[in-house]
Amino acid sequence: MPVQALKPGYKGEVKDALANFHGNQLVYLHWADHLIMAFPIALPLPPTTPFRALITDIAPNAFAMHPDFEKIDWSTVTWQLDRKPFTPDLDKTLAENGIGHKSALVFTAPGLMGLAGASA
């Protein structure tokens, strides 16, 4: 969403610029249909992170408090990258998968429609 400055000609410093993340990039990760996690989680990750690590190491830390997290069958999960269908290569890095600074990753776990089916 664009922001309009109140003062004409204002040029502010961009605080979330890639250069400010010390070699990391922001990746937004969201679990669709799970409103207990209503917003994407912003993760500062190295572009060299293997996509598989996103599933095995990073997502568990981000979503483990959700009671349905352990029920996810990752082999059936569907993905979107920046609002487009996406099939990640688990053995390639985030950068090799085309995931850049401020990319939005959304995953949907079939059969899990929110806490106790609340999104169904």
CA–CA distance, 34 with 15 (Å, rounded to integer) = 29
Q: First vs last Cα of the chain: how many Å apart?
A: 29
Each domain of the chain, given as residue ranges in start order, spans 22-115
Top mean-pLDDT range of 14-28, 80-94, 100-114: 80-94
What integer pLDDT is reported at residue 30 of this predicted model?
93
- Tens digit of pLDDT for each residue in 81-107? 999 999 999 999 999 999 999 999 999
Number of C-beta neighbours around residue 78 at 10 A: 13
Closest Cα to residue 34, out of 64, 76, 9? Answer: 64
Looking at CATH, the fold of the domain delimited by 22-115 is given as Ubiquitin-like (UB roll) (3.10.20)
